[in-house]
């Protein structure tokens, strides 16, 4: 058996690493294709090293561009790889443009597709990722869901039950494996940053960082939060460019940082008093770590982090953001628990489903 993995951005690497390891333990031949959708070495190459993934067999070098251009270039450059390697299945991860582009190519070449992190829905089709999720799940032959709400979404959309496999969250597999290493990194990090307690901030979504007015409002609110607690802000390249283009003056109470590698960022998350973010995966990681998370979005494709975990959606209500931080500092923040099957073994369940022959009967 030969499995082809398609990755293109930081969350993909975190998800693919444990799946690749689980398949290797079962002597499955594998090919890794990096589309190059994230082309900044700080956001890409460092994760391969820290996660223990070998250099990809192919790097398509696509880089940035509009959604249409990026998706088209990935398809054009990916198809020859599939024709050359002739995999038994392609595994795609998450909801980025690389995910949909690879699924489209494989579906037209009659190569089975497995979607890791299937079934997530925000209900907001203005988000490009929601379109990628919907279409990829319609094309996939095996749909690996992280939580039961994913199963429910897929069944409601007409996906046959036999194709849906509830396996748990592969991002948590990587977190569980590398948390001890991140604690060793913390000893050094602690000497380089403002003292605890601190709030950890990440911003990268267009709705928050591409609109100068919204970005300005966010920086003001974070500056006010910084009067009560240290604010650490590793700045995504997209966000840094927006800040430079807008000529924003960052409040002195905000401690700007370069993008962090996986281990350092995990260490920061696990020791944060609160995390303020617009990322999807961080909502999951903070839920596992038991760290309060305030998400600057009106909807989430990971509702289990809200219903079960430590996550709260505050949208664009920056007064509420500041109020929730004050509650957390007063010891009155939201409590949560870890969802079922977020146990560090999701990738093993995926590998077991792939190597057994029964799934072919669903094609």
- Whether residue 34 lies in the annotated active site: no
Catalytic residue among 5, 34, 38, 204: 204
Tallying the residues shown for the chain, one arrives at 363
How far CA 210 is from CA of 42, 78, 105, 214, 224, in Å, comes to 21, 30, 31, 8, 22
Between CA 83 and CA 185 the distance in angstroms is: 42
Cβ atoms of residues 140 and 106 within 8 Å:
no
> Which of 83, 87, 63 is closest to 73 using CA atoms?
63
CB atoms within 10 A of CB 249: 10
Cβ atoms of residues 295 and 280 within 8 Å:
no
Provide long-range contacts, Cβ within 8 A and 24+ apart, for 20-27: 20/53, 21/52, 21/347, 22/347, 22/348, 22/350, 22/351, 23/351, 23/354, 23/355, 25/351, 26/351, 26/355
CA 184 vs. chain centroid, Å, equals 23
| Bridge partners of residue 359, in order along the sequence | none
Between CA 351 and CA 27 the distance in angstroms is: 11
Within 13 Å and on the Cβ side, how many CA atoms surround 177? 20
Cβ atoms of residues 261 and 46 within 8 Å:
yes
Residue 338, Ramachandran bin (φ over 0: left; ψ between -120 and 50: alpha; else beta): beta
Handedness of CA 354, 33, 266, 229 (dihedral sign): negative
Q: Sheet containing 198-202: which strands, arranged edge to edge?
A: 254-257, 230-234, 198-202, 274-277, 293-295, 311-313
Token pair, residue 31, equals 């090919």
Cβ atoms of residues 220 and 252 within 8 Å:
no
**Residues with active-site annotation:** 204
């Amino acid at each position: 058996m030969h499995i082809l993995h398609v990755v293109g951005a930081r969350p993909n690497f975190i998800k693919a690493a444990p799946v690749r390891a689980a398949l290797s333990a079962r002597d499955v031949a594998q090919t890794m294709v990096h589309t190059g959708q994230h082309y900044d070495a700080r956001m890409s190459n460092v994760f391969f090293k820290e996660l223990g993934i070998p250099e990809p067999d192919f790097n398509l070098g696509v880089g940035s561009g509009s959604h249409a251009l990026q998706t088209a270039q990935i398809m054009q450059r990916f198809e020859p790889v599939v024709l050359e390697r002739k995999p038994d299945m392609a595994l795609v991860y998450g909801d980025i443009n690389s995910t949909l582009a690879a699924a489209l190519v494989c579906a037209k070449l009659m190569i089975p597709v497995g979607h890791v992190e299937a079934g997530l829905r925000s209900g907001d089709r203005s988000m490009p990722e929601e379109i990628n999720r919907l279409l990829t799940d319609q094309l996939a032959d095996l749909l690996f869901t992280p939580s039961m709400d994913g199963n429910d979404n897929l069944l409601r959309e007409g996906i046959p039950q036999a194709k849906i496999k509830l396996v748990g969250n592969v991002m948590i597999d990587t977190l569980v494996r590398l948390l001890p290493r991140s604690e060793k990194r913390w000893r050094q990090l602690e000497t380089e940053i403002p003292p605890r307690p601190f709030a950890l901030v990440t911003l990268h979504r267009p709705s928050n960082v591409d609109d100068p007015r919204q970005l300005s409002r966010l920086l003001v609110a974070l500056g006010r939060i910084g009067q009560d607690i240290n604010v650490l802000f590793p700045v995504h390249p997209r966000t840094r460019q927006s800040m430079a283009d807008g000529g924003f003056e960052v409040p002195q109470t905000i401690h700007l940082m370069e993008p962090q590698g996986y281990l350092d960022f995990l260490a920061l998350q696990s020791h944060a008093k609160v995390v303020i973010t617009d990322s999807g995966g961080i909502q999951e990681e903070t839920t596992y770590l038991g760290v309060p998370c305030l998400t600057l979005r009106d909807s989430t494709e990971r509702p289990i982090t809200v219903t079960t975990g430590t996550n709260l959606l505050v949208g664009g209500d920056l007064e509420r953001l500041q109020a929730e931080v004050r509650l957390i500092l007063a010891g009155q923040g939201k409590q949560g628990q870890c969802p079922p099957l977020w146990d560090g073994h999701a990738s093993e369940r995926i590998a077991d489903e792939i190597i057994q022959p029964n799934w072919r009967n669903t094609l």
